[in-house]
Amino acid sequence: MQTRFKLLKMLSDGNFHSGDALGLELGVGRSAIWRHVQTLRGYGLDIYAVTGRGYRLRTPLELLCESCIIDGLSEAARPLVTGIDLYSVLNSTNDHLMRPEAMVLPGGSVCLAEYQVAGRGRLGRRWVSSFGANLCFSLVWHFNGGPDVLSGLSLAVAVAVAEGLSSLGLPHPGLKWPNDLYIDGRKLAGILLEVSGEFSGASRVVVGVGVNLRAPAELDESIDQPWVALDELLPASVSRNRAASVLIAAIVVAMSEFEEEGFAPFMARWQRWDVMMGKSVTLQQVQGVIEGRARGIDATGALLIEREGETSRYLSGDVSLLREAASS
């Protein structure tokens, strides 16, 4: 695998490289280069092979860099990030931090991957991403208290991601309860929180984040919902390393703030970008489907839905805008 990613690093400039030159540099034959290229194509990379010229990526690739990400952290975030580990390929960054061996990691430990073989979203959904195109990372945080002290945490993380993207130039990041980011009905980013620990004791939280930065068009067939990439929304491309620094910093600062003050500081910030407020929605739960009008959130982060003049609060479920509301 190490040879494969040395090859990718050589190709990342977007220029042609002959099979002979690549093989000489890596100490392997041309047939081995071809096999590595086939594997890399399986990761969603568009690699051209032209007789007489060699191999090249369709577009240059900015690989992630641990030191670059650390250097780009804000002053407030730097002491809160205790370590950054970068991997070429993982099943899932969340899974990696949920392993028994990872339980000893301190809060503020971050794991990033260029590519996830089995990335996960909420409700068991698959998170699809091409190698080196987007951001997939997870981080660990510890809280002194059981699940009751974590009420609203997923919304607070979503606010942090929205504020980070706003600082990168995104004018109006839209928040969809409980923790997705949507732009004009298309998904831009998703968040997955996994909690472990004693019911009344300390809690360990793994926060997973996936952001579409420049998802290739060929991913359309693999994604079962409308999506959008940040590059489509901004006049200029954003550096992946810069985006990683900004978003990691925003999240660890938010986690520290939540640890001290709970959800209260985030409520008004959520309302600023709530894309569902006042719109007709459906909420799918195990017990059935609820239809009504979204009335924002309460102080715990619960979703408020009005039905026949009465407003009820909901703590879980899969919510979506009704089609007529989304198109109006």
The pLDDT, as a whole number, for residue 1 is 58
Residue 111, classed as helix, strand or coil, is strand
Q: Looking at mean pLDDT, say which of 157-171, 193-207, 208-222 comes out highest.
A: 157-171
324 vs 163: CA distance, rounded Å: 29
CA atoms within 13 A on the CB side of 107: 17
For residue 149, give both structure tokens.
């002290």
For residue 316, give both structure tokens.
């879980």
* Residue pLDDT, tens place only, 261-302: 999 999 999 999 999 999 999 999 888 999 999 999 999 999
Domains 2-57 and 66-272 share a fold: no
Task: State which fold the 66-272 domain adopts.
Answer: BirA Bifunctional Protein; domain 2 (3.30.930)
pTM: 0.86
Domain range summary for the chain, segments of one domain joined by +? 2-57, 66-272, 280-326
Q: State yes or no: pLDDT of 98 exceeds 70.
A: yes
Contact assessment for residue 34 and residue 77, using Cβ atoms and an 8 Å cutoff: no
Question: b/e per residue, 191-218, with b = 16+ CB within 10 A?
Answer: bbbeeebeeeeebbbbbbbbbbbbbbee
Bigger pLDDT: 44 or 231? 231
Residue range 2-57 forms a domain whose CATH class is mainly alpha
CATH for 280-326, options being 2.60.40.2140, 2.30.30.100, 3.40.50.720, 3.40.1280.10: 2.30.30.100
199 vs 207: CA distance, rounded Å: 19
